[in-house]
A and B are shown apart, each in its own frame.
Chain A
Amino acid sequence: MEIIKTAVAGTLESSDCMVTIEPAQKGLELDLESAVIRQYGKRIMEVALETLDRLDVQNARVSIVDKGALDCTIKARVECAAMRAAEHEGRISWGGVIR
């Protein structure tokens, strides 16, 4: 999936996270801000990277501001931001790349 513009998904409300994805030239750059970064930072990064990998996003700058999001919310926000940034329209591959 090619990231062609900057897009945002999510909010800064409790239990949510805000994900920003921007186009980049070489590889993935991931930045995380979280009040629980010491406890869950590694896990949040893992979930985000796995999600980007499934979506085949190879070049992007990704910023996550976490407010206590569950794994399912992190996945949902990364996917939504990536789809918006790639200007994806039409049917979604539920159970395929979205899982």
Chain B
Amino acid sequence: MNNPNKYRLRRTMMFLNCQKPGLIKDPYIYKPDSIMLDLEDAVAEREKDAARFSLYHALQEIDYRGVERVVRINGLDTDLWREDVRCAVAGGCDSIRIPKTETADDVRTVEYAIAEAEREFRRPVGSVLIMAALESARGVINAMSICDSSERLFGIALSGGDYSRDLQISISGTGVEFMGARQHMIIAARAAKIQCFDTVWTNLDDMEGFRREVETIHSMGFDGKSIINPRQIPVVHDIYTPKEKDIIFAEKVIKEIDEKKARGIGVFTVDGKMIDIAFYDGAKRTIALAKASGVYEGDL
């Protein structure tokens, strides 16, 4: 399976409650990279059926203008998730987010149901991708096997609320309580060559704290952040867009390495910094991110 969307740009994933038509009718105007159409926690228990009908018709009829449409299904411990998968796949979703993922078997169970739904609704098998939310100590500990569980899996995400409850702690706002999980998850995701996403920041009155947290997870290597409000989008995109000096440096690194390699030189300096082949992939990623963010018009 080679789904070209597996590694698309996902700096921001905005949660939207499928129960609320006013929220899901035009979120593309805020230009998030992905929207997370939620059938799970945001939807009241007695409105689960209503949320599915809204989801199906929104997916079928609203042009989300290239924004990725991820559907968060209900947990595997409910009798709701199988119909959620049928609805999302029939509607035409791009991806499905599995909540409360604890084992690789959880992912494979959902993958099987997705494949069944793809055949039932005549979509190419493999067209719907998966992401897994890790919301417990067990899920975080099992991150590596979860990351390796399926070709469809494009990433894992930390879900801070449930995770902090499982750890029997409260969220401090400093991020100290998430340090271990974040580090463990990003290492596992990178080992499996998939993406990794951070949890939501819920205090909308503290935008400075939000910016600091995004800077932290960006420097840790996360690919993006789950968000709950359009005001958070420009902050994340600003931090994730390569700056001009980084783009210029990356261009020099790529060009110098290409040229020096041809001449048999392995180590050299660019702008006073020692450079070798180990810098090549990072520079390539900077250029790719700059292109995807619409700030690069060079020839690489």
Q: Which residues of A contact B (CB under 8 A)?
A: 9-10, 13-16, 69-73, 75-77, 79-80, 83-84, 91-92, 94-95, 98-99
Mask of B118-132 contacts with A, CB within 8 angstroms, 1/0: 000100000000000
Is B294 engaged at the interface, CB distance under 8 Å to the other chain? no
> Among the listed stretches B50-58, B138-146, B205-213, B220-228, which one makes contact with chain A, having 4 or more residues with CB under 8 Å of it?
B50-58
Task: Write out the residue numbers on chain B whose beta carbons fall within 8 Å of the beta carbon of A91.
Answer: 83, 86
Q: Are A76 and B49 in contact (CB under 8 A)?
A: no
> Among the listed stretches B19-27, B106-114, B253-261, which one makes contact with chain A, having 4 or more residues with CB under 8 Å of it?
B19-27
Q: Are B86 and A15 in contact (CB under 8 A)?
A: no
Is B87 engaged at the interface, CB distance under 8 Å to the other chain? yes
- Which residue of chain A lies nearest to B89 when distances are taken between CB atoms in the complex? A94
Q: Are A98 and B53 in contact (CB under 8 A)?
A: yes
Minimum CB–CB distance for B59 against chain A, Å: 9
Mask of B29-58 contacts with A, CB within 8 angstroms, 1/0: 000000000000000000001101110111
Q: Are B60 and A72 in contact (CB under 8 A)?
A: yes
Task: Write out the residue numbers on chain B whose beta carbons fall within 8 Å of the beta carbon of A84.
Answer: 49
Q: Which residues of B contact A (CB under 8 A)?
A: 20-22, 25, 49-50, 52-54, 56-58, 60-62, 83, 86-87, 90-91, 121
A interface SS class: mixed
Task: Write out the residue numbers on chain A whose beta carbons fall within 8 Å of the beta carbon of B57.
Answer: 72-73, 75-76
Q: Are A76 and B54 in contact (CB under 8 A)?
A: yes
- Contacts A13-B22, A94-B87, A95-B90 known; list 6 others, CB within 8 Å: A15-B25, A71-B61, A72-B61, A80-B50, A94-B56, A98-B53
Known: A76-B56, A98-B56. A70 touches B25 (CB 8 A): yes
Task: Write out the residue numbers on chain B whose beta carbons fall within 8 Å of the beta carbon of A92.
Answer: 52, 83, 86-87
Q: Are B83 and A16 in contact (CB under 8 A)?
A: no
Task: Write out the residue numbers on chain A whose beta carbons fall within 8 Å of the beta carbon of B21.
Answer: 13, 15-16, 69-70, 73, 76
A76-B54 Cα distance, complex, nearest whole Å:
5
The interface centre, meaning the residue of A69, A73, A83 with most chain B CB atoms within 10 A of its CB, is A73
Task: Write out the residue numbers on chain B whose beta carbons fall within 8 Å of the beta carbon of A15.
Answer: 21-22, 25
- Which residue of chain B lies nearest to A71 when distances are taken between CB atoms in the complex? B61
Known: A92-B83, A92-B87. A99 touches B60 (CB 8 A): yes
Contact sample, A vs B, 5 pairs, CB 8 Å cutoff: A13-B20, A16-B20, A73-B21, A76-B57, A80-B49
A91-B116 Cα distance, complex, nearest whole Å:
14
Q: Are B25 and A94 in contact (CB under 8 A)?
A: no
Q: Which 8 A-B pairs have the closest CB atoms?
A: A94-B90, A72-B57, A15-B22, A76-B53, A72-B61, A73-B21, A76-B54, A80-B50
A4-B56 Cα distance, complex, nearest whole Å:
25
- Which residue of chain A lies nearest to B19 when distances are taken between CB atoms in the complex? A11
- Which residue of chain B lies nearest to A9 when distances are taken between CB atoms in the complex? B50
Name B91's contact: one of A14, A80, A94 (CB within 8 Å).
A94
Q: Are B61 and A16 in contact (CB under 8 A)?
A: no
Q: Are B50 and A76 in contact (CB under 8 A)?
A: yes
Q: Are A77 and B50 in contact (CB under 8 A)?
A: yes
